[in-house]
Structure 1
Amino acid sequence: MANILSFFVWILILKTCYSLWFPEENGIVINNSSCSLSAVPKYLPSHTQILDLSQNNITEIHIQDFASLHWLKSLNLSSNKISNLSSDFFRSNQELECLDLSKNELSSIECHFLHNVTSLKYLDISYNNFLSLTLGKAFSFLKDLEYLGLGSRKAIKLQKNDLKEISGKQLQEISIGLKTLSEYDPGSLQVLRTTKLHIVLPSTNKADLLERVMDDAFNTSDTLKLSNIECYQECSHYINSFKILGKFSRVSKLLLQNLALDWKDLISISKPIWTSTVKSLSFFNVTLYKMINSPFQCSETTLKALTIRQLKITLFYFSSTIIYNFFATLMIENLTISNSELLFMTCPIKGNNYKFMDFSDNSLSSDFLFQDCQSLNLLETLILQQNKLDRLFKVSTMTRSMKSLKNLDVSQNQLTLDENRDCLWTNSLIKLNLSSNRLTDLVFTCLPSSLAILDLQKNDIYSVPKELNNLDMLKELYLGANKLVNLPDCSNFRNLQILFVEANSFHEPSSSFLQSCQRLTVLNAASNPFICTCHLRDFSRMKENSHIEMIGWPESYQCAYPDNLKGTLLKHFHLSEVTCSTTLILVIVLGNMIVLIIVIGLMCHFLDLPWYLRMTWQWAQMKRRAMKTDSHQVAEKLVYHAFVSYSQHDSCWVKEQLLPNLEERGSPLRICLHERHFIPGKGIIENIINCIEKSYKSIFVLSPNFIQSDWCHYELYFAQHQVLSDRSDNLMLIVLESIPQYLIPSKYYKLKSLMAKKTYIEWPKDKNKQRLFWANLQAAIGIKLTAPTEETFV
């Protein structure tokens, strides 16, 4: 019994000290429980705030052990072998609020060390070796005390003035272990002022001692907890003690813990409670070793709630109808039977007052539980969590006659749904918990339309069908820990305000989700494997662009794919509008193309770009042909770089422009002109042929004047003849002035053919273009020739 009490005491420690365990980010928790320590560890961190040294073999502690722990707030030294604490202890621990010294070997309850820790809120010194429970004056200085645990392993007496040092304090809870009590002065407990009183009853058959203790207990606190009711043979002294509980006691909430008795004695103890002021009765850890039917007349009572947890029946065979009939005839509002291996429950008699039933953590089956039960018309809440329910349609038919049922919890069962089964729910159901079952997408075909809250977490749901029962009343939907591949469409739940879809399998939530969920205010979509692409942009901006509260944002929303973004918070995931908008990309591309076309058009118009391009192309072609020509072989029989044929009327341009740019600038070229190089005495045609043969190129300056000269026609004829005979490309045409085709006489048919087939160079009037013109011309005739001798000219 002591171990069980210790367990509940430590649970209370955790509850009381919860707000102290993590008071600030740099707080340190040290857990050295059950480490076989014989002394307090040295060099503990000075910022330690929670220190657990329980269940060790520590016999002595010294002042210096905790002297450096100025921030210590919770210290657990329970279950050690500490026998003495001097008054100087905890002088450096002014912040200490929770101290557990239970189950040690302290002999003095004076506790002078308490003078140094007046800020204590929780103090447990139970199960030590105190010879009495006479509290020292140090207890009167604990102005903030909320919980106090007292008790001794030794036989003790409790006298009237033992607890006077705390008589003026309003505490939340006082726990007094009186298991070894030998004498008791009436009124000793009534000096206490506490909201909750827990008494471990004496292990004695003295009825008068029990009666005095329980008489005071019933008139001390509103909430009373009594432990250690064990009567394997004789239980009359406990039964008689409970008879003291009358209509004028203070107790409104009674908790009976650690009971071992038979069914008849349990009923006998319960009877006086029925006629008392108690409104809530709870049994914890009840062991029944004998089942003897005992009549129980349900009279009028103020009792509203009955709770039974951890009911164990040690008999192998017994009549279960004894228990079922008892609960079927109760006229109370709230009934809880949990963790008791309950297999069945009888339909209560008509006229019952049940509004709340909790049968969680049992072995109930859906085949027989409350089927065709017509008497639960007032029932509002039914909890069947963690049983053996397996068929959802059976659960639905169970509720048909429960006209007031609003809340049904059938979570943590094995529920499934057959495809061909119809569900018949009560029309009053508002909240339905179907979490932690084996339900699939079919469940949406078996739901009552009256639901406002639906919990389907931890099932096998892959999607929410678009066609389902009318759920316009639904405001809260919980679908976490399923296998959803996309967010549900809220068009099926027009009034949905809260949606939980965390820990599912969707990657890219639908872009239409926000549009369909106009009334959504809370969304939990955390811990899903998000693929961070353009499709996720709208969802990642939901927190910024909507009024929806995102649970777990931003730390639980991370990219899972692609690998280069894995672990990136959706809050920090951004893609540009250009990257994700096909329309915008097309607009930009087409816009750039239009701008480029306009720019090219303007350049063509104002800068004569086609001319530059054509000239550049010609220059490149000339360079290519020059590289392919065997310059050494060609240069052996040549004297001039070029022979120029022109009309006498164009001689000014030849002498002022052509010759200076070819003979005097860059790499000087040798130009052959008829005026300078025709040999006197020879015929004109012979001179023409001689000059053309000794020149690398033959340049013809074309203009309207050119076509009027017969000699120019001869020169062109012989030059073209050489092209055909040598298969070379030494003919060049320079158009000084444009010559329309219709102006060229018919006898110049060869010139027409050449201008149609051969690329010619136009003389630009714009001076800015003339440099490129001369560069092209020099590149076309730029060949190295040997120095001429006098014989070469002959």
Structure 2
Amino acid sequence: TMLHHLVFLLGTSLVAKEIFASINCYYQKQIARYNGCSLTEVPLVPKDTLVFWLNFNKIRQVNASSFPLLEQLLILEIGTQSVSSVTIGKAAFRNLPNLQTLDLGDNKILHLDPEAFVGLSNVNTLRLFHNRLDESILEEDYLRDFISLEYLDLSSNQIKILRPHRLFYHLKNLTIVNLKYNQIPIICEGHLDSFQGKFFSLFILNSNYLYKPTSEDWANCGNPFKNIALGTLDLGSNGWGEDKVQHFLTAVNGTPIDFLKFKNHIMGSGFGFKNFRDPDKDTFAGLARSGIRLLDISHGFIFSLNPYLFQSLGDLEWLDLNHNKINQIQKQAFFGLRNLKTLNLSYNLLGELYNDAFEGLQNVKLIDLQQNHIGIIAQNPFRDLLSLEMVDLRDNAIKTLPSFPSMATIFLSDNKLLSIGSQTIRATFINLERNRLANLGDLYILLQVPNVQYILLRQNRLSDCNKHVNVSENNQLIYLDLGENMLKLVWDRGLCLDVFRALSNLLVLHLNNNYLTALPQDIFSGLKSLNRLNLASNLLSYLPPDVFPESLKTLNMSENQLLSLAPEVFMTLSLLDITNNRFFCDCTLNTWIAWVNKSNVTLAGSENDTYCVLPPGLTRVPFSSVALDGCNEDELQKPLQFSLFIFTSVTLIMFLTAVIVFNHFRGTCFVWYKTIIGTLLKERKQAIDTSAYKYDAYLCYSNRDFEWVQNSLLKHLDSQYSEKNRFTLCFEERDFLPGEDHITNIRDAIWNSRKTICIVTRQFLKDGWCVEAFNFAQSRYFCDLKDVLIMVAVGSLSQYQLMKYKPIRVFVQRSQYMQWPEDHQDVDWFLNSLSHQILQEKKVKKKSSVTEMQTIRTIS
């Protein structure tokens, strides 16, 4: 039994593997997808391929003969081969002259011939990550032909020394170098001489061994980036403490750097330790002349922001200190940051903010303080920050609303606010979600804030109302979220029923999850502009008429206890959600369904979520499946309904019988049809104009098919075979001149015939003369501007087999072809259709054929 199970599992895995391969291994729209196909060598692909993916295969070697000439190929990926090593031979990519992206990453061990990359002058992106390459990839001239290279990824290798070859002088476009996860212990002045004069938009030295050198080593090392300009320099995750950072920045003094990243450092004493120093006023002094605008020193152990810490960074605009252990902001800590716009202090250990915390940040626009432990805020630490637009204080322990200057956004969600108080605030967006506010009267205070447009009070404890002011008539509020509170306790006592009375500009209102069992009379009367209302997850069982404003378009009534539905309540809506209610399905349901079918309202949610709860026989039955047959039915209508049923059934049976009879005897029916039409209308054969052409049609076929063509076509169409036949046909065995060049005979036959009929069979596709004749016939299409080619496919030819031949592919994309019938009784109908095709004259537009003419000429 165990053996049977193993065999079954093995078979299942093999089948799954084949299915996976068929899904992931195909060519479509000039993209060759062969990822994970267990290939051991490069497969053949069409010459017009643009993208070629060969990742996750078993290719061990790529050499000069691996690829055919692919002049249009732009992207090639041969990464993550599941073999022990991959070898790239001499001139392996010589047949890919226009390649732009080459990815050989994650091949574990990559062996490169010194001339592996010969000829790749157009490549701008080269990925060689995780290949166990050593420093020779940079020190030798492997990359000499990459004159267009812009991005070089050598991350996760075994490079120990960074001394690039002099060839890098000539790589003028190289702007991104990724050396992350290597083993580089130090870089000194002179190591990067071949990079001098360059500007690198991104230079990554993250996660190397740069922590090993002592401070004295850096002091004697000089400036490794001398005469080099840097957009972003990433030195994170190198285990640098304050001393190494200071000595390195002193060494690179004067190097232009726009963005410096020290993410994941070990600067700072941490919380409760003193063995490492916090950075001070000398730490970043070496950046004074670098013009740095962005500095990331996040994810470290800085405990205290010391005085004048950033005094040398006068050009800094963005400072990221998140995920440190900052507990103290000393006076003048931000002195000198006159141009700072964004300050990120999130995810630290700040417990209080003093009035002088942000002194010197006169131009700051955004301060992020979320996820600290701030419980006390001094009287007004933001008073001098006149450019401030947003303060993010989410997820702290603030109990009293602080004062803010005029700004755009205030985030105070996930705190411990008990009341709004009387603090002066000015903002257009106020987020106070998930606090401990219990008094709905605080909303009246917030509505006094000039120009406030968004107020979010979701998940508070609003259950009482003690107001001291009324809602300002000139308020600009457009969005109000009061969801997940306890407004039932407020309105059941008749308190603050005028809360929405003056909100004439409000567009969106959320009142979900408030335990509402009924809506107070005229509660929405002042909401003249309300467009969207959310009343989901309450306990509403009844909606009075005219309860909603006429402007309402979207209503969410899901997860309530509605028993019935009155269409007049929802007349103005365009979108309605009534899912998961407790509907009693009586005869009024028919009225509701009829209204829904006539109105423009859209019902949200799944049909299975709108169901009956009562009566017991219809419990959980969706509306769409409910049949209420006994409602308002006139007994006199029953005989009529029965008669209609009988009539419909008999008509349907007769129609199906006629269809079955016709299908089985359609050949005989066609003969009768032609005989009757000929007798009644005295049909005459259409006169054929033979003045312009010697033949009515040239019949092109493979010599091996002559016997079939003679029996199936010539005997029924050619006038020399029978007097009943009406056409003068041309075919090779009878009409080609002996001794004349074969191609001349074909061309004369095509141009001396009104139409050319190509009998396309498997033998036809193998016959070069036949395919050539097909191409000649198409060329006449563009000269005469007439559709003179008729294609008849015989036998089981797939679309793929036809599309392999360019002349036939061009024809099939432009016109329809005829298929020889498999059923013998359809032959007469087919021959009649073919006769009409021979007689029919089809004109074509000249403009529409320009592109096809170019294609035909190319094929010719």
The alignment's TM-score, normalised by the length of structure 2, stands at: 0.47
Structure number with bigger Rg: 1
Question: Which structure exhibits the higher relative contact order, with contacts defined as CA atoms closer than 8 Å and separated by 6 or more residues?
Answer: 1
